Structure 1
Amino acid sequence: MSAEESPDPGPENSRRSEAGAGWVCGKPGTFKDLLPERVADFSWRRPRVLWRSRNDVLARWFGDPSNAIRRRCVDALRERGTPAAFTVHRAEPEFSFVLLGDTGEGDRSQYAVVPPLLHAAGDTDFMIIASDVIYPAGDAAQYQDKFFRPYKDYPGPIYAVPGNHDWYDGLRGFLHVFCGLDTDCSPPPWRGVLSFLPRMLWRHSGDVDGDALAEARGRYRGAPGQQSLQPGPYWAIDTPSLRVIAVDTGITGVLDRAQGRWLREVSAGPKPKLLVTGKPLYVDDDHRPGRIEGGGTVDEIVQDPAHHYVAAIGGDIHNYQRYPLTTEAGRKIEYIVSGGGGAFMHGTHTIPRTRVVDEGEFRCYPLRGDSLSRYSKLYGRWLHLPKLFELTPQEATAAVEHRLGIKAGRGYEDPALSRRVRFVASLLGVPRDGRRRSRFLRFPVRKVPQRFRSELADWDDPPFFKSFLRLDVTESHLRIRCYAATGCGDHETAPPCEDEVTIALR
């Protein structure tokens, strides 16, 4: 197996110009015409939204019931007659598909992805959503405006792996829509001195209105070519050239024993394989191998040379990252984060200088400088201090290069770095590359959990810095391209290609 990075695919991407990044929009995006007449007011700054997502905190404090719930659901699927292999077979050796993660907020940033996706990948054979189909809590009632409606014009079937937010209703809405299973697989009772707390506070599944979902499906995605029924929350698509394997990581990222056993079985053999997972194995220059109940990890399976994995793609983190990692056995595996499909953006400017791979091989979108500039403008607006906080893309890029000791992507003439620019970069989380912080900034501001900085930093105007992947498979190669969705009308018919890699399968 080998991977060969292609040269920059064109002039109009963020690595070439600010216009390519979406900072300058010549015309507005047409995605606004796709929005419902009334878009629900959704914001992570609202206590009600956070309260509906409380199962995440309860699972981490009192124990994650996802494995127990999943076992009950899988038993119900098998009683219905679902094959034990949980595999869909396709006879074509050459095919293509589009993959995007963390889609379903139902607001402008989700719908902004749709026109460029249809132009760059509307001819693909199927779509995969990797994590968090519906925010904030997976409710079945929200599938109409956050799933069926936005992808009504995509002609192929759509498969999905659930994210932690899809699990906050016990996976009931997800299983109904994607697997045709309507059953309440409520968690078993917690045990222990404080078990009354999760029993009292746990957000249980709501009722599923099957007729309303059937009406939404028929209205928006009722064409024969759009129909699909996946075997379960984890599954495989087997083709003569490549086996695509998808795993369900629940709320906290742990696989149950049965799923771990299944993963080992479908990973066996010499056929090249690609993993899709709700949580990435490498992200933010950190290794998160994915624990399996009873022992072992997902990444041990991926890196085993006998299994012939060529790539592993995960959602959950809302941006694009790529780590071309060479394993101890000398094989190269592309570890990719693809969570920029519509939800709020996790900043890339908080990613340290990479040690997992050489910084020159690492790719991310948005560029760290663009990420820092976007966040600085948001904080300047919220705090009514634009003159203090707002950094131009050029200033932000210079600050990132100074603090990390890297070349941050788009080239600029080096401007003078003022104290203000350095202060804002430090305050908004750009790490230092091993240098000692000043006493004034000794408190680790950058270690404030990124999830809170990012979830509070959502916006509804371009540039959105969203992204999706197009994957083209032949008998000998897998080509992966990351396309940007900026929200600018200039980029809808010809979205910028931000990264590309071709992997040999033979």
Structure 2
Amino acid sequence: MSRVPGRARLNSPFFAGATRPTPPAKHSQAHPGVSPLHPVSHRNTSFQPLPRPLGLVPYHYDIADHFPEIQQECTKAGRIIFHVVGDSGGVQDGEFQNNVAALMIRDLANPADERPHFCYHAGDLVYFTGARDDYYAQFYEPYAHYDIPIFSIPGNHDGEVDDPSTGASLNGWVNYFMQAQPDVDPISKDCPRVQMNLPNVYWTLITPFATIIGMYTNVPEGGSIDSVQQQWVTHEFATAPQDRALILALHHPIYSFDAYHSGSSKMADVLENAIRDTGRVPNLVLSGHVHDYQRIEQKISDDGPTPFIVCGNGGYHNLHSVHSNVGDVAPDTGAVLRYAADKKWGFLTLTVDKDKIAGQTTEVDRHDQVVAGDSFSYPTAPVVLPNPKSVPTL
């Protein structure tokens, strides 16, 4: 019997020249059900143990306690304004990160009632393994004149550890964001920034107009959380105030129409379980990981679509292309792509009041051309399903 040379090798993930699998076009999640591990794309990306929490359960960080001046400004203005950026680390070419950071800093010169109050980072501050020594070039220096707080959830690169002898997972992130006695780290050199005292790697930010539940989805592709964090997420959904917007933030996106990572069915399960157990649906879901910007809608409630934002174009040099067109409906999940920017870097500005969440992106291309990109508005009224068990598969 004749055989085709090399055919057996081509059926093996270890044949010479093998690469990570390509996500299916037009789909919003790479794998149905539980994502299979691929020995090429998942090497050195196993689940990493979490550092010890700094605070106590339920890991709340109330802005009124830590930044009372922001609380007062928001209450007086009747709204809160903040930047959202993700995947900002300029590891190979800092130009793109610096361009985005400069535009964020420019916003700080806005009139007082239009000035952002803080930045919420969706993870991957430092590539490729979140080393403390890389924080000067990729964090301290680019935001040297960004004089408002930067909050964060970690991304997979923040948690990766190639060489265990260099320290435990998330050492660099913890060194800045989880310090009991915040101080100026000498590694910041000529760009000093006082450290933060966040209570945990997953935590909830309490503000006058929004509750932001921030998960840590660890290192494996598609994300991974343990049962303890799942219980915490469900608890936060159940106890979140209904007089303000509920926002969920996680690094690995639930939906994505990109041609590199795609969305995560595992993270969809996390959200679906929290909704089924509590009936509460977030008003907005923020994520990063994919190096572009996308706004995706999914119908979970009859009250209207739930927006899922991928905000991962904050400065990493290599952007991820989108394989679908605006208006396309994913055949695997029914998610709808409403906006995409895969050739420009940028950030999102969110304005939240008692009635709505309004968003506006600022985009800059490689020729330094700046444009206003996506704009949207969604209601902040609490979304509670009368029959939580009827939530569709996400």
TM-score norm. by structure 1 comes to: 0.55
Q: Which residue of 2 aligns with 1:109?
A: 96
In the alignment, is the contact (CA less than 8 A) between 1:237 and 1:245 conserved in 2?
Answer: yes
Change in CA separation of 1:138 and 1:227 when aligned onto 2, cut-off 3 Å? closer
Structure 1: runs of 5+ lacking an equivalent: 1-55, 183-209, 372-464
User: How much has 1:58 moved relative to structure 2?
Assistant: 8.6
**2:35 maps to 1:160:** no
Instruction: State the secondary structure of the residue aligned to 2:309.
Output: strand
Indicate which of 99, 119, 123 corresponds to 1:127.
119
User: 1:275-318, CA deviations, whole angstroms, 9 ceiling, x for partnerless residues?
Assistant: 111111111176524359xxx52344258773241111110000
User: How much has 1:158 moved relative to structure 2?
Assistant: 0.9
Indicate which of 355, 358, 361 corresponds to 1:479.
358
Q: Which residue of 2 aligns with 1:86?
A: 59
Aligned 1:58-457 pairs, distance under 5 A: 60=42, 64-66=46-48, 69-70=49-50, 73=51, 76-78=52-54, 82-91=55-64, 92=71, 93=75, 94-106=79-91, 107-120=94-107, 123-169=115-161, 170-180=169-179, 214-217=185-188, 219-222=190-193, 228-252=196-220, 253-268=223-238, 269=240, 270=242, 271-284=244-257, 287-291=263-267, 296-301=269-274, 306-327=279-300, 329-351=302-324, 354-356=328-330, 362-366=338-342, 371=343
Q: Which residue of 2 aligns with 1:411?
A: none
Instruction: State the secondary structure of the residue aligned to 1:348.
Output: coil
Amino acid in structure 2 at the alignment position of 1:484? E
User: How much has 1:486 moved relative to structure 2?
Assistant: 2.2
Change in CA separation of 1:124 and 1:486 when aligned onto 2, cut-off 3 Å? same
User: How much has 1:480 moved relative to structure 2?
Assistant: 1.2
Distance 1:136 1:179 in 2: 20
User: 1:57-85, CA deviations, whole angstroms, 9 ceiling, x for partnerless residues?
Assistant: 6993688232xx11xx1xx335xxx1211
Change in CA separation of 1:58 and 1:121 when aligned onto 2, cut-off 3 Å? farther
Distance 1:242 1:347 in 2: 30
Instruction: State the secondary structure of the residue aligned to 2:378.
Output: strand
Instruction: State the secondary structure of the residue aligned to 1:324.
Output: strand
Instruction: State the secondary structure of the residue aligned to 1:221.
Output: coil
Distance 2:199 2:346 in 1: 27
Change in CA separation of 1:505 and 1:219 when aligned onto 2, cut-off 3 Å? same
Change in CA separation of 1:334 and 1:302 when aligned onto 2, cut-off 3 Å? farther
Amino acid in structure 2 at the alignment position of 1:311? L
Change in CA separation of 1:272 and 1:470 when aligned onto 2, cut-off 3 Å? same
Distance 1:272 1:304 in 2: 19
In the alignment, is the contact (CA less than 8 A) between 1:118 and 1:154 conserved in 2?
Answer: yes
User: How much has 1:329 moved relative to structure 2?
Assistant: 4.6
Distance 1:304 1:336 in 2: 24
In the alignment, is the contact (CA less than 8 A) between 2:357 and 2:379 conserved in 1?
Answer: yes
In the alignment, is the contact (CA less than 8 A) between 2:154 and 2:251 conserved in 1?
Answer: yes
Indicate which of 374, 378, 384 corresponds to 1:503.
378
User: How much has 1:500 moved relative to structure 2?
Assistant: 0.8
Amino acid in structure 2 at the alignment position of 1:133? L
Distance 1:359 1:290 in 2: 16
Of Structure 1 and Structure 2, which has the larger fraction of its residues in helix?
Answer: 1
Further displaced range: 261-270 or 141-150: 261-270
User: 1:174-200, CA deviations, whole angstroms, 9 ceiling, x for partnerless residues?
Assistant: 111111289xxxxxxxxxxxxxxxxxx
Instruction: State the secondary structure of the residue aligned to 2:42.
Output: helix
Q: CA RMSD in A?
A: 3.1
Change in CA separation of 1:487 and 1:346 when aligned onto 2, cut-off 3 Å? closer
User: How much has 1:217 moved relative to structure 2?
Assistant: 3.8
Amino acid in structure 1 at the alignment position of 2:247? L
Distance 2:303 2:88 in 1: 35
User: 1:358-390, CA deviations, whole angstroms, 9 ceiling, x for partnerless residues?
Assistant: 898621013xxxx5xxxxxxxxxxxxxxxxxxx
Instruction: State the secondary structure of the residue aligned to 2:158.
Output: helix
User: How much has 1:137 moved relative to structure 2?
Assistant: 1.3
Change in CA separation of 1:471 and 1:302 when aligned onto 2, cut-off 3 Å? farther
Identity of aligned residues (%): 20
TM-score norm. by structure 2 comes to: 0.69
User: How much has 1:346 moved relative to structure 2?
Assistant: 3.1
In the alignment, is the contact (CA less than 8 A) between 2:47 and 2:224 conserved in 1?
Answer: no
User: How much has 1:86 moved relative to structure 2?
Assistant: 1.1
In the alignment, is the contact (CA less than 8 A) between 1:86 and 1:235 conserved in 2?
Answer: yes
How many residue pairs were aligned? 307
Distance 1:132 1:57 in 2: 23
Amino acid in structure 2 at the alignment position of 1:363? Y
Change in CA separation of 1:287 and 1:272 when aligned onto 2, cut-off 3 Å? same
User: 1:240-289, CA deviations, whole angstroms, 9 ceiling, x for partnerless residues?
Assistant: 32101111010120111111111111111434311111111111176524
In the alignment, is the contact (CA less than 8 A) between 2:153 and 2:216 conserved in 1?
Answer: yes
Of Structure 1 and Structure 2, which has the larger fraction of its residues in strand?
Answer: 2
Structure 2: runs of 5+ lacking an equivalent: 1-37, 65-70, 110-114, 162-168, 382-394
Distance 1:475 1:302 in 2: 22
Amino acid in structure 2 at the alignment position of 1:248? Y
